[in-house]
Amino acid sequence: MRIFFKKLKFLSLGVVLVAICNSVMAFQADGTITICSIEPLTGVGTALGAPNYIGKKIAVDEINASGGITVQGKKVKIVLVSEDDNTKPEQGVPLFRKCAESAKALVITGSQYSRVTESMWGLLQKKLDDASDPGLQVPSISFLSMKAGITGVSEWAFRNAGSEPDQHELTVSLMEKRYGPFKNYAGAVEANEAHSVAAWKAAYLPVLDRRKIKPVEYVEWFETDRDFSVQIRKLKRAETDFFILSSHFQANVGAMLEAQRQGFKPKMVVSHIGADAVEMVDLGKKSTEGIVFPAAIHMAFPQVKNLADEYKKRTKEKYMPQFTGLGYEGIMIVKEAIERANITNTPTSLAQDRRKVRDQLAAIKNYKSFAGMTLNMNANRDIERPTYLVRIKDGDFKLFWTPEKQFLF
Amino acid sequence: MEFITDLLQTILDGLLFGSTYALVAIGFTLIWGLLKILNLAHGQTVMVGMFVGMLSTKIPGLPMIVGVLMAMIGGALVGLLIDRICYRPLRKSHELITMIATLGFWILLEEIFIKIYFNIWFRDYVAFENPFDGFVLELGPLRLRYDYLVTLGVSLFLVLTLYFVVFKTRLGLAMRMVSEDHDIGYLMGVSVAQVLTIAFLISAAFGGAAGYLIGMTSNIAGPYAGSMAVVKGLFAMVLGGAGSVLGAIAGGLTLGVLELVGSFLFSFSYRDAIAMLFLFAVLIYRPQGLIGSRSIERI
Amino acid sequence: MGYWYTIAALTGINVILAYSVYSSFITGQVSLGQAAFFGVGAYVAASLTTLLDMNFFVAVMFGGMAGGLLSLLVGFPTLRLKGYHFTIATVAFAEATRVILHNVKFGRPKEDGAVGDRWLGPDGPVGFRHISYLNDHNISSGEFAVLVWCFVLVVVGAFIILERSRISILMRTISEDEVVARSIGISVAKTKIIAFACGGILAGISGGLYAHLLTFISGNDFIIHLSTIALAFVVIGGGQTLWGPLFGAIIFTLLPEIMRPIQSFRIELFGLLILLTMLFRPSGAISANWVRKIRFSLLRKQSVTNLRSATNKEN
CB contact under 8 A, C254 and A84: no
**Could you report the per-residue pLDDT of A246-273, keeping only the tens digit for each?**
998 889 999 999 999 888 999 999 999 8
Among A257-271, B247-261, C298-312, the least confident range: C298-312
For B177, residues 6+ apart whose C-beta sits below 8 A from its C-beta are B184, B185, B188, B190
* ipTM given for this complex: 0.86
Q: What is the DSSP letter of C128?
A: B
Query: In chain C, what is the straight-line distance between the N-terminal and C-terminal CA atoms, in Å?
Result: 54
Query: How much is the pLDDT for B92?
Result: 79
Amino acid at B191: S
Gap from B112 CA to chain A (nearest CA, Å): 12
Taking CA atoms, A263 is separated from A229, A237, A266, B134, B263, in Å, by 12, 11, 9, 10, 21
Q: What is the DSSP letter of C29?
A: -
CB contact under 8 A, C115 and A134: no
Query: How much is the pLDDT for B179?
Result: 79
CA dist., res. B18 & res. C238, Å (int): 40
**Inter-chain CB pairs, A–B, below 8 Å:** 72
**Could you report the per-residue pLDDT of C55-106, keeping only the tens digit for each?**
999 999 999 999 999 999 999 998 888 778 888 889 889 989 998 998 888 8
Among A37-51, B33-47, B156-170, the least confident range: A37-51
A386 class by beta-carbon count within 10 Å (0-12 exposed, 13-18 middle, 19+ buried) = middle
Q: What is the DSSP letter of A187?
A: E
Q: Which residue has the higher pLDDT, A291 or B290?
A: A291
Structural domain boundaries of chain C? Answer: 2-284, 288-315
Q: Hey, is the C-beta of B260 within 8 angstroms of any chain A C-beta?
A: yes
List strand residue ranges (DSSP E) for chain C, in order: 108-109, 119-120
* Residue B39 and residue B106 in contact, taking contact as beta carbons nearer than 8 Å: no
CB contact under 8 A, B6 and A226: no
CA dist., res. B141 & res. B148, Å (int): 17
Q: What is the mean pLDDT of chain B?
A: 86
Best CA proximity match to B41, nearest among B108, B105, B115: B105
List strand residue ranges (DSSP E) for B118-251, in order: 126-127, 136-139, 142-145, 220-221
Query: How much is the pLDDT for A8?
Result: 64
Q: Which residue has the higher pLDDT, C185 or B197?
A: B197
Enumerate neighbours of A (3 or more CB pairs within 8 A). B, C
Phi, psi of B253 (to 5 degrees): -65, -45
In a 3-state reduction of DSSP, which class is residue A141? strand
- Over residues A154-181, mean pLDDT: 91
- All residues of chain A having their beta carbon less than 8 Å from the beta carbon of residue C5 are 97
Q: What is the DSSP letter of A102?
A: I
C264 class by beta-carbon count within 10 Å (0-12 exposed, 13-18 middle, 19+ buried) = middle
Residue A354 has pLDDT above 70, yes or no: yes
Residue B184 has pLDDT above 50, yes or no: yes
CA dist., res. C104 & res. C44, Å (int): 12
Give the confidence band of B296 by pLDDT, cuts at 50, 70, 90. Answer: low
CB contact under 8 A, B280 and C80: no
SS (H, E, C) A197-213: HHHHHHHHHHHHHHCCC
CA dist., res. C165 & res. C162, Å (int): 5
CA dist., res. C135 & res. C131, Å (int): 9
- All residues of chain B having their beta carbon less than 8 Å from the beta carbon of residue C177 are none
Inter-helix orientation angle C56-75/C34-51, to 10°: 150
Query: How much is the pLDDT for C220?
Result: 81
Measured from the Cβ of residue A358, the count of other Cβ atoms closer than 10 Å reads 24
Cα-trace Rg, chain C: 21
* Residue C14 and residue C233 in contact, taking contact as beta carbons nearer than 8 Å: yes
* Residue B35 and residue B199 in contact, taking contact as beta carbons nearer than 8 Å: yes
Q: Hey, is the C-beta of C26 within 8 angstroms of any chain A C-beta?
A: no
**Could you report the per-residue pLDDT of A92-132, keeping only the tens digit for each?**
998 999 899 888 899 999 888 888 998 899 889 988 988 88
CA dist., res. B24 & res. B210, Å (int): 6
Q: Which of C91, C100, C274 sits opposite B103 (nearest CB)?
A: C274
Q: Which of C87, C96, C274 sits opposite B273 (nearest CB)?
A: C96
CA dist., res. A110 & res. A116, Å (int): 9
Phi, psi of A187 (to 5 degrees): -130, 145
Measured from the Cβ of residue C1, the count of other Cβ atoms closer than 10 Å reads 15
CA dist., res. C29 & res. C109, Å (int): 43
* Residue C230 and residue C17 in contact, taking contact as beta carbons nearer than 8 Å: yes
Q: What is the mean pLDDT of chain C?
A: 86
**Could you report the per-residue pLDDT of B81-122, keeping only the tens digit for each?**
999 998 888 887 777 788 888 988 998 999 899 888 888 887
Residue of chain B whose alpha carbon sits nearest to that of C273: B104
- What is the CA B15 to chain-centroid distance, rounded? 15
In a 3-state reduction of DSSP, which class is residue A342? coil
Query: How much is the pLDDT for A24?
Result: 44
One CATH from 1.10.3470, 3.10.100, 1.10.287, 3.10.290 for C2-284: 1.10.3470
Best CA proximity match to A107, nearest among A345, A370, A379: A345
Query: How much is the pLDDT for C59?
Result: 93
* Residue A76 and residue A66 in contact, taking contact as beta carbons nearer than 8 Å: no
CA dist., res. B13 & res. B22, Å (int): 14
CB contact under 8 A, A261 and B9: no
DSSP H or E run through A78: strand A74-84
Q: Hey, is the C-beta of C270 within 8 angstroms of any chain A C-beta?
A: no
Phi, psi of B278 (to 5 degrees): -60, -45
**What is the pTM (predicted TM-score) of this model?**
0.86
CA dist., res. A196 & res. A223, Å (int): 10
* Residue B106 and residue B223 in contact, taking contact as beta carbons nearer than 8 Å: no
CB contact under 8 A, C228 and B104: no
Q: Hey, is the C-beta of C258 within 8 angstroms of any chain A C-beta?
A: yes
- Over residues B23-32, mean pLDDT: 91
Q: Which residue has the higher pLDDT, B228 or C111?
A: B228
Best CA proximity match to A93, nearest among A66, A116, A65: A116
Question: Dihedral angle at the C-alpha atoms of B281, B284, B288, B293, nearest 10 degrees?
Answer: -110
Best CA proximity match to A76, nearest among A26, A29, A28, A33: A33
CA atoms within 13 A on the CB side of A5: 10
Best CA proximity match to B158, nearest among B218, B214, B203: B203
> Max CA-CA distance within chain A?
79
CA dist., res. B276 & res. A220, Å (int): 18
CA atoms within 13 A on the CB side of B299: 7
Query: How much is the pLDDT for A50?
Result: 87
Best CA proximity match to A293, nearest among A403, A171, A382: A171
* Residue A89 and residue C214 in contact, taking contact as beta carbons nearer than 8 Å: yes
CB contact under 8 A, B122 and A316: yes
Best CA proximity match to A2, nearest among B140, C289, B146: C289
Query: How much is the pLDDT for B136?
Result: 81
Instruction: Count Cβ neighbours within 10 Å for each residue of B239-272 and write b for 16 or more, e otherwise.
Output: bbbbbbbbbbbbbbbbbbbbbbbbbbeeebbbbb
Query: How much is the pLDDT for A36?
Result: 93
CA pseudo-torsion sign C243, C248, C253, C259: positive
Q: Hey, is the C-beta of C224 within 8 angstroms of any chain A C-beta?
A: no
Residue C305 has pLDDT above 80, yes or no: no
Q: Which of B108, B234, B280 sits opposite C268 (nearest CB)?
A: B108
Residue A21 has pLDDT above 60, yes or no: no
CA dist., res. A76 & res. C127, Å (int): 41
Query: How much is the pLDDT for C115?
Result: 66
Residue B68 has pLDDT above 70, yes or no: yes
